[in-house]
Amino acid sequence: MTELRPDLAVIAAHVTPGTRVLDVGCGDGALMAALRDRGCDARGLELDPALVERCVARGLSVVQGDADRDLADYPDKGFDTAILSQTLQTAARPDRMLDELLRVGRQAFVSFPNFAHWRMRAALTFGGRMPVTRSLPVSWYETQNIHHVTVADFRELAAAKRVRIEREWFFAGDRPIGSAGANWRAEHAVFEISA
Amino acid sequence: MPPATAPQTYTLPAPLPLDGGQALDGVEIAYETYGELAEDRSNAILVCHALTGDQYVASTHPLTGKPGWWERMVGPGKPVDTGRYHVICANILGGCMGSTGPASLAADGAPYAMRFPVITIRDMVRAQVALLDGLGIGRLHAVVGGSMGGMLALSMAANFPDRAARVLAIATTARHSAQNIAFHEVGRQAVMADPDWQGGDYYGSGRAPDKGLSVARMAAHITYLSEGGLTEKFGRNLQERDEKTFGFDADFQVESYLRHQGSGFTRRFDANSYLYITRAMDYLDLAEEHGGRLANAFAGTDARFCLVSFDSDWLYPTAESRHVVHALNAAGAAVSFVELSAPHGHDSFLLEHAALDRVVAGFVG
């Protein structure tokens, strides 16, 4: 088995075993497979049919669909946990996406690349161009990320929506770091939230 | 080499109750099996055929001499692997390849013809479940079907939820739309407008409504294809001539192709069966059978579902599959869904498609 991406590993480690989980933007199902190994009933939503096909071939239950539109099809509190990994920044309306996550799940995990990381700041400040870094490796014109978000922005959005941040994790590369100065030090952030 | 096959017929031991209120006595179901049944009978897969299909899923058709209709999918080492699974394919109730249908003899020794009761998809499923009972198979490893076969698979999941652990429904729907019904009505009217139909009593008369049935097949066949597929295959090319004849011969290749499809069909299919089976499909509305809410149809199921649609299928478009997926989600069922890209319209499920093979193999397990 290949090793999980750090944000997925931290989510997998903190989902309660045996619970019902919806992984929104589940990709090739790596996290779902790990959750299944923990006895979870994991369901996925994924836009790319080739990735859905790989999930089905691994015996996972994944529906092809667009999270912006199709989360509405899922019943209220149908899941214990909803997961949005590296997908918030691709949402048409990230604020509404958060609402939907906490509607279909009692709690949620959200992970995203932090656009306030110092490499980003440096690239924009000194290069004057939209940054292309290891955590956001695609040029501005071909990226799926349409709402770049920072750790500070996310905290502010959560506060404005009265969404509780239960726990948070930060990573520089694959290395976990503390929350001190996370907004400029973290390349990736993971938040556990509840309504 | 095609897998070994065992042509058989099972006579239902009890009258089959029908949605129309009647019961049908002495129903026979013709079926084929492939691969060994495990000692604990846990490895059976029921493959359900489409409207004009039959039980010869992976063996040579006795009338046409052509390979089975899903030989590329069912066989040793194929996505539905008969090296591991015991595959059963039965000719549906109302069919004309050995199962009881309008051409069968009624108690008075004459063919039922239009005295055959109008049947539903659920009636066909009841007959299949009775066959499974007869074969001693309590729970299928999977029920698999495309088009009408997918309707049968979904209907089995809704009405006999404990009979299949996996449900794979391809290019299908849980209800026939007005457009679907409209196309079927064109076909039925073509059959019934043929003077050789004789009110359905054409058996033994030396005349059969081949022209009407052929037209029905031609119209239906167009709905199985896509505009892109037809254009790619035929365009406006002329058939074995350099110029238009300014007449009504088959000038265009596509005309000749449809005529060929139509006439080939009449050699292997009974016109009255076509009427009854299309009617059964038109009546399909799984939500209506379950209090008007499709999610109710799947409430409490512990089966795993997989739905597949094709982006060029305009007969049972992706929205129809999504509608089922939505209901399955609402019912809390384990469901997968994928829309595959294919140029050939509804018929894509029968044609070469590597991604479909991977999905089927992966889901069936």
Q: Could you report the predicted ipTM of this complex, rounded to two decimals?
A: 0.89
Residue of A nearest to B362 (CA): A57
What's the sign of the alpha-carbon dihedral B222, B228, B229, B233?
positive
pTM: predicted TM-score of the whole model, two decimal places: 0.93
Q: How confident is the model over B236-278, as pLDDT tens digits? A: 999 989 999 999 989 999 999 999 999 999 999 999 999 999 9
pLDDT tens per residue across span B21-79: 999 999 999 999 999 999 999 999 999 999 999 999 999 999 999 999 999 999 999 99
Strand boundaries in chain B, DSSP class E: 8-11, 16-17, 23-24, 28-34, 44-48, 74-75, 80-81, 86-90, 142-146, 166-170, 304-310, 334-340
Question: Is B25 annotated as catalytic?
Answer: no
B273-326: pLDDT as tens digits: 999 999 999 999 999 999 999 999 999 899 999 999 999 999 999 999 999 999
Higher-scoring residue by pLDDT: A24, A129:
A24
> Among A17, A56, A51, which Cα is nearest to A34's?
A17
CA-closest candidate to residue B353, choices B365, B364, B339, B336: B339
Q: Is A76 on the interface with B (CB under 8 A)?
A: no
Chain-centroid distance of CA B147 in Å reads 6
Tokens of B246: 């300014």
Of B194, B251, B282, B313, catalytic: B313
Q: Mention every residue, 6+ apart, whose C-beta is less than 8 A from residue B131.
A: B10, B12, B29, B31, B88, B90
C-alpha neighbours within 13 Å on the C-beta side of residue B323 = 19
Amino acid B4: pLDDT? 47
| CB-based contacts of B118, cutoff 8 Å, min separation 6 | B20, B276, B279, B280, B283
Interface probe, candidates A23, A36, A53, chain B, greatest B C-beta count within 10 A: A53
Pairing verdict, β A188-194 and B23-24: unpaired
Residues 41-60 of B with CB under 8 A from A: none
**Rounded to 5 degrees, what are φ and ψ at B152?**
-65, -40
Confidence at B365, pLDDT banded by 50, 70, 90:
confident
Residue A119, class by beta-carbon neighbours within 10 Å (0-12 exposed, 13-18 middle, 19+ buried)? middle
